Amino acid sequence: MRNTHFPGRSPVYSLDGMVSTSHPLASKSSIDILSKGGNAVDAAVTAASVLAVVEPHSTGVGGDLFCLYHKAKNNKIIGMNASGRAPNSISIDKLENLGIKDSIPFQSPHSVSVPTGVAGWIKLIQDHGNLELKEILEPAINYAEQGYIVADVIADVWEREVEKLAADKDCKNLFLPEGKCLKAGDIHYQPRLAETLKSIAEHGRAGFYEGDIAKSMVKKLNSLGSFHNLEDFANAEANYVDPISANYRGVKIFECPPNGQGVIALMIMKILEGFDFIDIAPNSTLRIHLQAEATKIAFSHRDHYLADPDHSNVPVERMLSEEYIKTLRSLIKIDSCTRNYKPELPIHPNTVYISVVDKERNSVSLINSIFHSFGSGLVDPDTGVLFQNRGASFVLDPSHPNFIKGGKRPMHTIIPSIATKENKPYLSFGVMGGHYQPMGQAHVLSNIIDYGMDPQKSLDFPRSFYFDGLLECEEGIPQNVREELAAKGHQVKVCDLPHGGGQVIEHRGDILIGGSDPRKDGCAIGL
């Protein structure tokens, strides 16, 4: 039990179903769907659609989705990749002719990959849901049409992104009404987005990827010089994928395969598995050092290999082989840093993670994202769609596996996860925070397995992350520990914003135990 002398929250317990999201309205809407007879898939899509309205800096219909679904009836885990592709006619040469040579600007229309999350919603519901799409999307439509109250953490991000929101006039009109930044407690309306959601509810896939809505989105992007066309949207497709997995101290961890970075999370866990944590305190210098070193090594592989597997060979089996992991683990020195690693991509994009378990013990682990805060900052005024900027993850070096090419998916950061123990459901979990996610998953999982923390405490616990030459520590890591890390050669900094977010639902016998990250506005709710 937590120490109730200090602020915090207890884990949530339930027998008949559990939802955990980053926003109370999404959690409530999702649990309502379970109460109406919906299953975990229905409830997860409801949560994702509500978050697309009430957490606009993190997700939306203009973004992507990855999902793992553990179906209780056959004890099988399936994966879904609903990440968008670059427009078919784009190329490195065309971008160079426009003066884009080093990287794709994050607020450029060329950073907009085709939004494919909606295709994922629809396929999941058609193949695995219990309820009709209209009922599932009804809460999101209502919040978009009738308004929702801006929550605290969201308001803070909103204020930090005013300059970005003001750059595109249509984005400014939507997110800076009357030229003012919305504050916590203000009511925000998105009537155009409500109409788009109604179209999806009524016509399914065609209501978004064809007809007037698709034409409007293409028109907006083309007006800014993009290479998108109607065919790119019509061909947007969510695909089922076979999950990849690895073991950590008897627990089997499942991830979506590349183009997502789930393999990197597994690499970090496997490297750390070789160290005995029994005598290592959870907030100690040594633990944080080992996590940082494992992350450096795994990320160096990410930026060398990770790309769309349809266009490049990603050596997943080799990266996770015991022999290779042993070799990588041997690079770590206990008393000093082994190497410096400087990723090429920016830190802390925004994402929402959703965990749902229903009465039958079907589990859904789902992530919806527009990448950076408010994505590309580009809005289609007629549909209310805010476009993601995931295409900025491509590189412009044709020798790199993640180089941009028409119809190709970029390297993706979002990674939902499911864990089993003795071939039975154990955890549905995920950690938000862009590039932090693999390290975050390893940290939260270790909190549970190595230190016996419940889901809520595992999320509450202080975090650190090695990035861009810095070991960024939250304020919860003591000063003496930060000094000792510096003595090992780490360049230590207290981070401005905490690392990521996250949700966890644990299966423990006949009960469910849920937690939701205090770094966000959300909560876990049980039936």
Q: Is 80 exceeded by the pLDDT of residue 258?
A: yes
pLDDT band at 342 (very low <50, low <70, confident <90, very high): very low
The per-residue pLDDT for 344 is: 42
The per-residue pLDDT for 467 is: 78
Q: Is 50 exceeded by the pLDDT of residue 345?
A: no
Q: In angstroms, rounded to a whole number, what is the distance separating the alpha carbons of residues 18 and 526?
A: 4
427: three-class secondary structure by DSSP:
strand
Q: Is 60 exceeded by the pLDDT of residue 194?
A: yes
Full-model pTM: 0.96
Q: Is 70 exceeded by the pLDDT of residue 91?
A: yes
Residues 201-213, mean pLDDT to the nearest whole number: 98
From 285, 351, 383, 420, the catalytic residue: 351
Q: Is 70 exceeded by the pLDDT of residue 208?
A: yes
Q: In angstroms, rounded to a whole number, what is the distance separating the alpha carbons of residues 37 and 250?
A: 34
Can you state the angle between helices 117-128 and 191-203, rounded to 10 degrees?
40
The per-residue pLDDT for 2 is: 78
Contacts of 466 (CB under 8 A, 6+ apart): 292, 293, 295, 296, 341, 439, 472, 490
Residues 89-110, mean pLDDT to the nearest whole number: 97
pLDDT band at 347 (very low <50, low <70, confident <90, very high): very low
pLDDT band at 435 (very low <50, low <70, confident <90, very high): confident
Give per-residue pLDDT as tens, 482-525: 999 999 999 999 999 999 999 999 999 999 999 999 999 999 99
What average pLDDT does the chain have? 95
Give per-residue pLDDT as tens, 28-46: 999 999 999 999 999 999 9
Give per-residue pLDDT as tens, 282-314: 999 999 999 999 999 999 999 889 999 999 999
Q: Could you list the beta-strand ranges (E) of 183-307.
A: 187-188, 239-241, 244-248, 251-255
Chain centroid offset of residue 238 CA: 17
The per-residue pLDDT for 349 is: 58
The per-residue pLDDT for 50 is: 98
Q: In angstroms, rounded to a whole number, what is the distance separating the alpha carbons of residues 32 and 527?
A: 9
- Give the pair of three-digit tokens for residue 374: 């408010």
Give per-residue pLDDT as tens, 10-28: 999 999 999 999 999 999 9
Is 351 catalytic? The answer is yes
Give per-residue pLDDT as tens, 394-409: 999 999 999 999 999 9
471: three-class secondary structure by DSSP:
strand
